[in-house]
Structure formats: structure tokens, C-alpha cells
A and B are shown apart, each in its own frame.
Chain A
Amino acid sequence: MGALSLARPVRAVRLAVLRPLGSFTLWAAVGAAVALAVAAAGPRLLGWQSMTVLTGSMRPLLRPGDVVVDRMIAPASARPGDIVTFHDPGRGGKLVTHRVRFISRRGAMIDVVTRGDANSVGERWSVPADGRIGRVEYRIPHLGYLGQWVGTPLGRLLAIVLPALALAIIELRAVWRSPPAPDPGAEPAAP
């Protein structure tokens, strides 16, 4: 009897503490996920571009799996030390993200020398002065792996099913826990 009476307040305290804490954590996680999604994909609305780092040529700053978000700029605006994304003619026009080492103007062209932080050899390339290149504004570590996983059939399925399931559980719990609406035709209970 005594144990039972003690258990009720403990359970009530636990519920009073854990429920808001759980709710807070859940919503904070949702906020973080939304912010991450906006940070990764939102800049596209501004004409920026985001891409996943595939190699370790910019280690330790950028690692494979990181997502970099580029602002598109005029090539002449780039400065030595900036990290830029460009089509490398030496790699069949593949997109490469490396650090600018030197930049000079030659008539209507901008000549750029870039090198990955982890590389010993750089690359020279040119771009029309009125062209555009990407300058890395920020990076999101490891997000590229998540993007790749979501691209798989299982990932795509789970990315849709899991949040839908979570939402359904939250909604069902809310429905079950809400007190029944008072029946207007019912007699008041005798004292």
C-alpha cells in the first residue's frame, strides 16, 4: 500500500520532467534538421550551389562527404586564399573545389592557379572575365553521406516513412490522451 502511494508521485514527477524535456529535444531536433536542410538546399534559391566533396584534396579543411555551399561570383572577385569551385580543363571539365593561390588578368580572361591544401601540385585554368565561378561560403560536414543514402531506394523509403510514422504516433498519442468531451445531455454525477 505504502509502496503504491509512493510510486504515484514519483511517476508524476517523472512525467512532469521527462515529457517537456522529450518534447523540447524533439522540437530542437526538428529545428536543427530544418535548418540543415535550408542551409544545404536553400541557397539554390539565391543562385548559389551546393555540392558534395568527393576527394580528400582539401583535407583537413574539407573531407569527402562534406557538403560545400558556393556563392557564384565574378572570377576577378576571387582572392588568393579563397576556396573556389571551377571546371578543371585538366580533368575533362570536372568540377573541382580548390584554394586560389594566384590570380591574374590577361585581356578578357582571368588566369587562376589553384591547388588543393593536401596536394603538392596545383592546376592552372582560365575563365572569361565575365564568367562565374563558385566561392565556398560554408561547409556542412558529412551531410553528403546522408544525401547519398537518401538517394538509395531504402534511404528514400525510410526518409519518407520514418518521419510520417513519427508524426502519426505523435498525433495518435495526442488524440488518445485528450480528455473526452463532456456529453451535454448527461446528468451531473451525484455527490
Chain B
Amino acid sequence: MLLGAAAVVAVLASWAPSGAQSVAGTTVSLTMNRTATLEITPTGQILATSLQPAAARTAQVGLRNIGERPSQVRLRIEPVTGEADPYLGFEIRTDGRRVFRGPLGALRSWTGTAIHLRSGQAVRLTIRVALLDTLPAAAELPEQALTIDTLEQPWAR
């Protein structure tokens, strides 16, 4: 009787579900749309990629001031949920100058550094997004569809 019970216990122990099925990582897409005074090239989706922890991808877009006056441009991303705030890292540069570097949560506010554009001037924006290795083991961050908003203000030179 004990042998039968022991056999059942041994079999049940071998049937304990494993926790290693989950693959860590996420899928990120970045979108940036043109405005009345700012031409974005390419416009719409500029990046769609899967990311593993500590991995990064880069997207490049062209920004051109199509308004008649000089303007300063600031950027932000406002995701609907805050789950990715501490886990996605961003670095935004324009022609070698850093505009922003930090986690997604810090990019919910407009960037402190502005991109200054004279009328007709174009710059290349490099956006680097990384999945930080602070993501808990085996966590699968839900897909992030992020839109980069732009704030254009007159620039008094």
C-alpha cells in the first residue's frame, strides 16, 4: 500500500509544472507623425522590433521645419500603461547632440533639451531603444506600440 502511495507521490512530483516556458523580452514599435510645421521622413511607423533584455535597436528619421519661422521641437512618449516605464531605455540624438537619455518613464514629460530648427532646416534624429536588463527573469513585457509626440514652439534666436 505504501509502495503504491509512494509511486503516486513520485509521479506527481515529476508532473509539477515547470516555470521555464516563458521567453523574456518584448516587441516594440515606434511611430512618429508629421505635423503642420514639421515634416517627418519616414512618417508613421519608424521601428518595429522584438527585444531581448540588454538588446537595443536604432531608428533614424529626418526632421524638417516646413514652417515659416524658426522653431524649437521637444519630444515625449506617453504610453497608455506604465508597465514598460522602468524597463525600456531611450537615447535620442540629433546630428551627434544628445537630446534625451533615460528610461521611458522619464520621457513622459517633454524633453528638457530642444531641437532648434530654422525655417527649412532639416536634421537627422537617431532614436535608440533598449530593453533594460532590470526586467525580471522570464518576464515577457507586453507589446509596446509607442508614439513619439512633438511639441513645436517658436524659437526666438
Are A111 and B83 in contact, CB atoms less than 8 angstroms apart? yes
Whether A101 touches B17, Cβ cut-off 8 Å, given contacts A28-B7, A140-B12, is: no
Query: In the complex, A98 Cα to B90 Cα: how many Å?
Result: 32
Chain B residues 112 to 146 lying within 8 A of chain A, measured CB to CB, are 136-142
Asked whether A34 is an interface residue with its Cβ less than 8 Å from the other chain, the reply is: yes
A: contact size bracket: 35 or more
Contact pick for A31, options B5, B19, B81, B82, CB 8 Å: B5
Residues of A within 8 A of B4 (CB): 27-35
Q: Helix, strand, loop or mixed for chain B's interface?
A: loop
Q: Look across to chain A and name the residue whose beta carbon is closest to the beta carbon of B143.
A: A122
Query: In the complex, A62 Cα to B22 Cα: how many Å?
Result: 15
Contact pick for A32, options B5, B13, B17, B81, CB 8 Å: B5
Contact pick for A35, options B9, B17, B140, CB 8 Å: B9
Asked whether B156 is an interface residue with its Cβ less than 8 Å from the other chain, the reply is: no
Are A61 and B17 in contact, CB atoms less than 8 angstroms apart? yes
Query: In the complex, A136 Cα to B138 Cα: how many Å?
Result: 17
- Output the least CB separation between A183 and chain B (Å): 37
Contact pick for A80, options B1, B12, B16, B137, CB 8 Å: B137
Asked whether B3 is an interface residue with its Cβ less than 8 Å from the other chain, the reply is: yes
Chain B residues 12 to 59 lying within 8 A of chain A, measured CB to CB, are 12-13, 15-22, 24
| 11 contacts across the A-B interface (CB closer than 8 A) | A28-B1, A32-B8, A39-B8, A81-B21, A99-B22, A101-B142, A104-B83, A113-B83, A113-B142, A139-B16, A140-B15
